[in-house]
């Protein structure tokens, strides 16, 4: 098994994040530091450690969805001392988040200890749709929606187009549904900044066919077999 896959399947982090650990010289195999990404390990015999702690493969996999509150970082430990999503989880299993949400963004987040599953969900070739509900200051008019659908231009570069729909306007704030299938950093916030409207609240409500539903803020629940199968059935 490739070393990055072993690390990911142990529940350490996503496969790409595990590659960073290897390149940083934090991984040892049988007592020797290894920093070659193509390293092969025997999962039954070799002793693999990260920062001196031995990792083992789980006997069972866990798949959770969380309603992440704003004000929590998507990391196991935050260098700035902020609260993290793992402060909200009571589990004896080492889990990691599949993808991430900004500190000030709330909503649907997937967690697992299955590295192959995480790699599948986050792989760019599949372009899983992500749906957000943005509460935005001011009235969003049809002309604004047209610009967002076409793709706003930021620093001379056109952002990916998006499917957008005005859900409501209460005289002060507009609520807009935004569906994207390419994940760029702060993409939704940049879209509204570009048309002169600041986001008051941003919530992710769907990834692929997995929906947030009525899950309370800060809570987790197991994904259903159908939700797991949706991702595993796409190759």
Sequence spans of domains, the chain:
3-54, 63-125+212-232, 130-207
CATH 3.10.290.10 fits 3-54, yes or no: yes
Identify the sign of the CA torsion 26, 101, 78, 110.
Answer: negative
Sign of CA dihedral 37, 99, 219, 60: negative
What count of other Cβ atoms lies within 10 Å of the Cβ of residue 41? 19
Gap between the Cα atoms of 4 and 25, Å rounded: 13
d(CA 50, CA 218): 29
102 tagged catalytic: yes
| Residues 166, 136: Cα–Cα separation, whole Å | 11
CATH class as words, domain 63-125+212-232: alpha beta
DSSP β-ladder status, 106-112 and 199-207: parallel
| Fold agreement (63-125+212-232, 130-207) | yes
Consecutive 10-residue averages of pLDDT for the chain (235 residues): 90 86 95 94 93 89 95 88 92 87 96 89 85 96 92 82 94 96 81 93 96 95 94 75
Report CA 6 to chain centroid distance, whole Å: 20
**What spatial distance separates the first Cα and last Cα of the chain, rounded to whole Å?**
20
**155 class by beta-carbon count within 10 Å (0-12 exposed, 13-18 middle, 19+ buried):** exposed
Q: How far apart are CA 198 and CA 195, in angstroms?
A: 9
Other Cβ atoms closer than 10 A to 163:
13
**Dihedrals φ, ψ of 16, to 5°?**
-65, -35
Q: Are the C-beta atoms of residues 199 and 192 closer than 8 Å to each other?
A: yes
Q: What pLDDT, on the 0 to 100 scale, is given for residue 234?
A: 67
What is the CATH architecture of 130-207? 2-Layer Sandwich (3.30)
What whole-number distance in Å separates Cα of residue 189 and Cα of residue 59? Answer: 40
**Catalytic pick from 46, 78, 102, 181?**
102
Supply the angle between the helices 142-150 and 187-194 in degrees, to the nearest 10.
130
């Amino acid at each position: 098994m490739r070393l990055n896959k072993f690390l990911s399947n142990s529940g350490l982090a996503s496969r790409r994040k595990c590659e960073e650990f290897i390149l940083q010289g934090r991984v040892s195999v049988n007592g020797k530091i290894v920093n070659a990404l193509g390293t092969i390990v025997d999962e039954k015999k070799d002793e693999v450690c990260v920062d001196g702690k031995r990792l083992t493969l789980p006997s069972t996999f866990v798949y959770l969805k969380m309603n992440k509150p704003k004000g929590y970082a998507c990391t196991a430990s935050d260098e700035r001392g902020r609260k993290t999503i793992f402060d909200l989880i009571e589990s004896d299993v080492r889990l990691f988040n599949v993808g991430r949400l900004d500190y000030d963004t709330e909503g649907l987040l997937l967690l697992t200890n299955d590295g192959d599953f995480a790699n599948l969900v986050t792989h760019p070739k599949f372009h899983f749709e992500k749906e957000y509900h943005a509460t935005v200051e001011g009235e969003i008019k049809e002309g604004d929606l047209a610009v967002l659908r076409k793709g706003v231009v930021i620093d001379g570069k056109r952002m990916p187009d998006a499917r957008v729909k005005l859900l409501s306007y209460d005289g002060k704030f507009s609520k807009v549904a935004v569906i994207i299938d390419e994940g760029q950093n702060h993409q939704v916030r940049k879209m509204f900044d570009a048309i002169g409207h600041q986001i008051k609240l941003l919530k992710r409500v769907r990834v692929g066919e997995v929906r947030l539903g009525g899950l309370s803020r800060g809570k987790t629940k197991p994904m259903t077999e159908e939700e797991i199968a949706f991702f595993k059935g796409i190759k």
